[in-house]
Structure 1
Amino acid sequence: MKFLPVSLFALLCFSTFAADAQTHSLFNGKDFTGWHIDVPDMDNNSSVPTPFIIRQGMLVSLANPEGHIITDSIYQNYRLQVEYRFPGKPGNCGVLLHASTPRSLYKMFPKSIEAQMMHENAGDFWCIVEDISVPDMEKRRGPKKDWGITEGKERRIKNLTDNSEKPLGQWNTMVVECLGSAIKVWVNGDLVNHGTNCTASKGQIALQAEGAEVEFRKVELTPITKLTGGK
């Protein structure tokens, strides 16, 4: 895949952003105020432990049982910055954007577009009963006849870069910009995906428990309230 380095300086200079918006943390480091947990295995068994905990001021996904922690609020036109790492074994996780109807896919995943955090695949898009378009679609998603947004369809859209992630155990920074029907994703300053014509433009934000323990030390959102130029 083609390597397209983009510095954080360039991100700030050339990306459309909110000049007068206030950045705020979605996680207070103490409890899950503003979030709710959706884990199917916990529905009818009170002994099943939650996969989401707070540890040393960090939000931690313990991987199992699988599920999501979801914001109570709906967001539209924003920049989200997430700092995360896999402290042990590498594996899977993701940020779900424009999340809405719960358990829409495999009776687990809310309707959304996922910005993938899976080790060595950070920045892939996964279409979860929503869709998005990118250039070179067949190269990055596979044959058009296989595309889809539900079970059994080709829902993965590969990212643009290799080697954007830090070595295992180190902190990564993912920045996601959702503006209208477009979504851009940066990993450690590299532009790793840019999609347009998204079938959703607002929704909740979710983090996954799916396959590996992940620590989150920052989950910050900046509303985009005034366009200041750039493209």
Structure 2
Amino acid sequence: MKKNLLLTIVAAILYSTTWSQTSYSLFNGKDLSGWHVDVPAMDTNSSAKNPFIVRDGMLVSLGNPKGHLITDSVYQNYRLRVEYRFPGNPGNCGVLIHASTPRALYKMFPKSIEAQMMHENAGDFWCIQEDITVPDMETRRGPKNEWGVSEGKQRRIKNLTDSSEKPLGEWNTMIIECKGNTIKVWVNNDLVNEGYNCTASKGQIALQAEGSEVEFRTVALTPLK
């Protein structure tokens, strides 16, 4: 009896460990199933085209018109792996995590925390109607009386290193780990940001169209226990 109970416990632990380490792609390589587009210009301009396409098995943000590609599902406690590159000119983009209310900032950005991908700034946090705390806040965010999460406030929290990105045109790997109210970001294996006391712990995941063409060859999620 005890032996059977022990085997059951061991099997449960092994199953839990395997599950927590199993990643799956949020992008199927064929179409945008599991995602929806929120591009304000498409509301009123019938000629505005969807800036998110699939090309050669990659998910591509064309950059314009500006907006977001948002997962249909809500996620909590996970590790997200994104492999991306700017194929042409250096540009701007980002991964938004814990996204919720659409168009909460500047009638464009969903309520969220952004992990910045802008060339030479990858790993910055941007607070979009959500907030997060990091060590050395005043050094990295500016004067405390200017902090905020809405228009006109100091919403940018600088990363720990701007030297982690690959040369323009090469593939970068960004890993974002969300666990409870903490968020960690790695760029090409360098820990570039770590925050705690995040005001959100779950939400949708969004990719940006923010003026620059960006190719994504991997968008994979690993659940965490």
- Matched to 1:145, the amino acid is N
Q: Alignment RMSD, CA only? A: 1.1
Runs of 5+ consecutive residues of structure 2 not aligned to the other structure: 1-16
- Give 1:19 deviation, angstroms: 4.9
Corresponding residue of 2:224 = 224
- Give 1:88 deviation, angstroms: 0.2
Do 2:65 and 2:211's aligned partners in 1 also have CA atoms closer than 8 Å?
no
- Give 1:168 deviation, angstroms: 0.1
Runs of 5+ consecutive residues of structure 1 not aligned to the other structure: 1-17, 226-231
Q: Could you say what secondary structure the match of 2:140 adopts?
A: helix
Aligned mates of 1:178, 1:19 — CA distance in 2: 19
Aligned mates of 2:137, 2:155 — CA distance in 1: 11
Aligned mates of 2:101, 2:49 — CA distance in 1: 24
* Higher RCO (CA-CA < 8 Å; seq separation 6+): 1
Aligned mates of 2:140, 2:111 — CA distance in 1: 22
Corresponding residue of 2:4 = none
Q: 1:44-92 deviations in whole A, cap 9, x for unaligned?
A: 2221111111000000000000000000000000000000000001111
Say whether 1:129 aligns with 2:129: yes
Corresponding residue of 2:10 = none
Q: Could you say what secondary structure the match of 1:20 adopts?
A: helix
Say whether 1:215 aligns with 2:218: no
Do 2:19 and 2:223's aligned partners in 1 also have CA atoms closer than 8 Å?
no
Say whether 1:71 aligns with 2:103: no
Corresponding residue of 1:58 = 58
Aligned mates of 2:76, 2:29 — CA distance in 1: 24
Corresponding residue of 2:204 = 204
Do 2:67 and 2:208's aligned partners in 1 also have CA atoms closer than 8 Å?
yes
Corresponding residue of 1:155 = 155
Aligned mates of 2:102, 2:82 — CA distance in 1: 22
Superposed counterparts of 1:41-52, under 5 Å: 41-52=41-52
TM-score normalized with structure 2 length: 0.91
Superposed counterparts of 1:163-174, under 5 Å: 163-174=163-174
Superposed counterparts of 1:185-200, under 5 Å: 185-200=185-200
Corresponding residue of 1:100 = 100
Aligned mates of 1:205, 1:218 — CA distance in 2: 14
Say whether 1:20 aligns with 2:5: no
Larger Rg: 2
- Matched to 2:39, the amino acid is V
Say whether 1:89 aligns with 2:89: yes
- Matched to 1:20, the amino acid is W
Aligned mates of 2:33, 2:48 — CA distance in 1: 21
Aligned mates of 2:46, 2:172 — CA distance in 1: 34
- Structure 1 ranges of 4+ moved more than 3 A: none
Aligned mates of 1:71, 1:113 — CA distance in 2: 15
Higher helix proportion (structure 1 or 2): 2
Q: 1:13-34 deviations in whole A, cap 9, x for unaligned?
A: xxxxx65322100000101100
- Matched to 2:220, the amino acid is E
Aligned mates of 2:71, 2:25 — CA distance in 1: 12
- Matched to 1:112, the amino acid is S
Corresponding residue of 1:15 = none
Aligned mates of 1:189, 1:181 — CA distance in 2: 22
